[in-house]
Structure 1
Amino acid sequence: VGNITNNSTIIGTGGFFPFGIEGTLAGAATCFYAFVGFDLVATTGEETKNPQRAIPLSICLTLLICSIVYCSVSIVITLMVPYYLINPDAVLPEAFQYVHLPTLKYIIGVGALAGIFTSLLGSLLPLPRVLYAIASDGLIFRFIAWIHPRLQTPMIATILGGIVSAIMALIFDLKKLVEMMSIGTLLAYSLVSISVLFLRYQPIEDRLINNDEQTVQSICKQLFKPFRLHPTTISARLTKYLITCLVINGFILCAIQIFAQHYVEEKNPIILSILIIFLVIELCLIVLIAQQPKNEKSLYFQTPCIPYVPILSVLVNTYLILKLSPATWIRFGIWMFIGFLIYGFYGFWHSSQRFINDTQRLLSGSRSSLDSS
Structure 2
Amino acid sequence: MAFKGMAYYQKFFRRKGLKPVHATQRLKRCLTTLDLVIFGTGNMLGAGLYIVTGEVIRSYAGPSAILSFVIAGTIAFFSALCYAELAALLQISGSAYYYVYVALGEFPAFLVGWNLILECLIGAACAASSWSAYLNELVDAKIGNYTVEYLLDGEPWDSNILLPYPDIVAGIVSLLASMLTAIGAKATLRCNVVFVIVNILVVVGISVVGFQNGIVDNLTQPDGFFAYGVLGVLSGSGFCFYSFSGFDALSIAVEETENPAKSVPVATIISMSVTTVTAVISCLSLTVLRPYFNVDPAWSFLEAFETLNNSYISYALLICVLTGISALVVAHLFTMPRIALSMARHGLLFSCLATISQRTGTPVVTIGLFGIIPAALSIFIRFDVLIELLSIGIFVAHIAVVCSVIVLRNEKLDLATEQLEETLPLKRTTLSYRGGLRIRTESETEADLLKNKEEDDDDVDSNPGYKPVEVVNSWTYMLDTTSINTWLLLFIIFNTAATAILINLPSKVKYPLLFWSMVAVGSIVFVIGLICFLSVSRAKGETNKRNFKVPGMPYLPGIVITLELLLMVNLKALAWLRLFVWSIIGKNYLIIALSISTF
Equivalent-residue separation in structure 1 for 2:475 and 2:256 (angstroms): 46
1:242 matched to which residue of 2?
487
- C-alpha distance in 2, partners of 1:180/1:340? 20
Aligned CA RMSD, in angstroms, stands at 2.8
Match of 1:295 in 2: 542
Which residue is equivalent to 1:307?
554
Aligned to 1:210: 472
Q: Is the 8 A contact 1:139 1:347 kept in 2?
A: no
Of 159-168 and 67-76, more deviation after overlay is shown by 159-168
Which structure 2 residues correspond to residues 36-185 of structure 1 after superposition, within 5 A?
36-185=245-394
Aligned pair in 2 of structure 1 residues 188, 52: CA closer, same or farther (>3 Å)?
Answer: same
Does 2:217 match 1:9? yes
Paired with 2:555 and 2:349, the residues of 1 have a C-alpha distance of 35
Shift of 1:46: 1.8
Q: 47-56 or 281-290: which moved more?
A: 281-290
Deviation per CA, 1:90-129: give whole Å up to 9, x if none. Answer: 2112222334444322211111111122112111112111
Query: Contact 1:41/1:59 (CA < 8 Å) preserved in 2?
Result: yes
Per the alignment, residue 342 of structure 1 pairs with 589
Q: Of 231, 235, 257, which aligns to 1:22? A: 231
The CA distance in 1 between the partners of 2:249 and 2:272, in whole Å, is: 12
The alignment partner of 2:217 has SS state of coil
**Aligned partner of 1:271 among 499, 515, 518:** 518
Could you say which structure has the greater relative contact order, defined with CA pairs below 8 angstroms and 6 or more residues apart? 2
- Relative to structure 1, is the Cα distance of residues 149 and 288 closer, same or farther in structure 2, using a 3 angstrom cutoff? closer
The secondary structure found in structure 2 opposite 1:9 is helix
How far 1:20 moved relative to its partner?
2.0
Q: Distance in 1 between matches of 2:594 and 2:259?
A: 32
Amino acid at match of 2:471: I
Query: What residue number does 1:255 align with?
Result: 500
After TM superposition, give the deviation of residue 135 of structure 1 in Å. 0.8
- Runs of 5+ consecutive residues of structure 1 not aligned to the other structure: 215-231, 359-373
Tell me the residue number matched to 1:368: none
- 1:341 and 1:158 map into 2 onto residues whose CA distance is 25
1:266 CA drift (Å) = 6.3
Would the aligned equivalents of 2:238 and 2:567 in 1 still touch at CA under 8 Å? Answer: yes
1:219 maps to none
Question: After alignment, is 204-213 or 334-343 more displaced?
Answer: 204-213
1:209 aligned partner, one-letter code: V
How many aligned residue pairs are there?
A: 335
Following the alignment from structure 2 to structure 1, what is the Cα–Cα distance between the partners of residues 284 and 375? 33
Distance in 2 of aligned mates of 1:244 and 1:5: 51
The amino acid of 1:257's aligned partner reads L
Q: 1:73 to 1:7 in 2, by over 3 A?
A: closer
Q: Give the letter for the 1:285 counterpart.
A: C
Percent identity over paired residues: 24
Q: For residue 364 of structure 1, what is the aligned residue in structure 2?
A: none
Confirm or deny: 8 A CA contact 1:235 1:293 kept in the other structure. Answer: no
Q: In the alignment, is the contact (CA less than 8 A) between 1:31 and 1:178 conserved in 2?
A: no
**Mapped partners of 1:10, 1:252: distance in 2:** 37
Q: Which position in structure 2 is the counterpart of 1:283?
A: 530
Q: Work out whether residues 92 and 105 of structure 1, in 8 Å CA contact, stay in contact via their aligned partners in 2.
A: no
291-300 vs 205-214, greater mean Cα deviation: 205-214
* 8 A contact 2:502–2:519 mirrored in 1: no
Secondary structure class of the residue paired with 1:198: helix
**Ranges in structure 2 where 5+ consecutive residues have no aligned partner:** 1-207, 414-466
**Following TM superposition, by how much is the alpha carbon of 1:51 offset from its aligned partner in structure 2, in angstroms?**
0.6
Q: Which amino acid aligns with 1:246?
A: F
Per-residue deviation, 1:203? 5.4
TM-score (norm 2): 0.52
- Given candidates 397, 402, 407, the residue that maps to 1:198 is 407
- Taking structure 1 as the reference length, what is the TM-score of the superposition? 0.80
Q: Flag the 1:256–1:294 CA change in 2: closer, same or farther, 3 A.
A: same
